[in-house]
Amino acid sequence: MIEKLDFLVRFWELKGRHATLGEPLAAKEQVELLSLMQLVQGEFEVPPAGPVKATRTSLPAQLIGDGGMRRVEIRGLNAGALLVASGTPVAAGGQVIVRATDAVSGVEYALPCKVMWVHPGSEKEPCTIALVVDGIPTRSVFATPDAQMGGQLSIGQGERLVG
């Protein structure tokens, strides 16, 4: 699912910049946006309210808003919405930020979102929240230990102390 998130973040970034900024996209970015739009064609609908089951590709994330931060799990993802599972609900119509990281590739995503609907959970299932990207998401690369050390765990060159 992380690969699809990476792909969609680029789509949402170009789409958001095209819609909100005063400057038009560069010609290369316009072509890229049109190409991405063709790939996500038919995925713009927000799914109806209801629970979403966990899958083996579910992605852990954080939901930041309402004066706090909570752990969530991204269980569904398309060009129209993110479906996340949470132990506690949030208010529909509210603004939040979804933060997800991929420690393997050293990438962090921050997506400004609007809460479209909340499906209450039960004793066995968490609540499900539908989020629509509302703004320009960011993709940041951070240094991983592997990248800093050339893929090897190295403590450094030590000096030998001889008496």
Q: Where are the domains of the chain?
A: 2-145
Per-residue pLDDT of the chain (163 residues; tens, 9 = 90+): 888 998 899 989 988 888 876 667 888 988 988 888 888 888 888 999 999 998 898 999 999 998 889 999 999 999 999 999 999 889 999 999 999 998 888 899 999 999 999 999 888 889 999 999 999 999 999 865 554 555 544 444 555 555 4
Q: At what angle do helices 27-39 and 2-20 cross, to 10 degrees?
A: 130
d(CA 137, CA 133) in angstroms, rounded, equals 8
The whole-model pTM stands at: 0.81
- 9 CB-contact burial (10 Å; exposed 0-12 / middle 13-18 / buried 19+): buried
Are the beta carbons of 4 and 102 closer than 8 angstroms?
A: no
The set of residues, in sequence order, having a beta carbon less than 8 Å from that of 53 and lying 6+ positions away, is 75
d(CA 53, CA 62) in angstroms, rounded, equals 18
CATH number of 2-145: 2.40.10.220
